[in-house]
Amino acid sequence: MIDVLVVDDDFRVAEINAKYVGKVPGFRVAARAHSAAQALAAVERGTIDLVLLDHYLPDQTGLDLVHRMREQGHGTDVIMITAASDVTTVQQAMRLGALHYLVKPFTFAALRTRLDSYAALRRTVDRVGGRGLTGQEQVDRIFGALRTAPAPSAPGLPTGHSEPTTDLICGVLHRADHPLSAHEVAARTGLSRSTAQRYLRHLEQAGRLRLSLKYGDTGRPEHRYAWVAP
């Protein structure tokens, strides 16, 4: 079994990611962490094979954590799972040795593809490692194990939308006792306002939410969303 450390400052997102990992054969969640300090402590215990790492943590960034891990001699493998999609962060992750970089929101299929390729990498290294590298062919085989095909979007969801994020937003609105604005949904889910608006627009068009307008004294009316019972 491949022991995985799931690191995300959002307890709910960490739980969703952990459930995803548990659905992939050969992987198990050994620990969860919600800060860089907790993650480093888990790595130092020496039982972690792979870290699924968010970049935005309360005490330092995920890349700062990877840098500390490498400085202290921890070669634990890392896959970044984060909303940070700027080129600088992606380049830094590559330079620090992150094996994959998965941008939130994502589907289970996208995560499983990365985990499967990671498992293939470990099998390939085990096969050639015992006898040592004998040439370019073996090197190409190791690097080729990390290649992944683009994962399809979940059925019924537009490109760029994920099931866990959709479920998270639906759960918040289902539990709410009054219609919520995109700003309120973002605050309750930990998502950005633009992401919340994008999902709310899709769910309203799909008939799962009811849109109403709240007029104030000045400015444009506020869009508010309520759960529609099936």
| Distance from C-alpha of 228 to C-alpha of 230, rounded to nearest angstrom | 6
Residue 95 burial by Cβ neighbours in a 10 Å radius (0-12, 13-18, 19+): exposed
Structure tokens at 156: 């019924």
pLDDT score of 153: 44
Q: Which of 74-83, 124-133, 160-169 has the highest mean pLDDT?
A: 74-83
Backbone dihedral angles phi then psi of residue 211, each to the nearest 5 degrees: -95, 135
Are residues 193 and 182 in contact, defined by beta-carbon separation less than 8 angstroms? yes
Rounded to two decimals, what is the model's pTM? 0.63
Task: Dump pLDDT digits (tens) for 86-97.
Answer: 888 999 999 999
Task: Dump pLDDT digits (tens) for 120-154.
Answer: 888 877 776 665 666 776 677 667 666 654 444 44
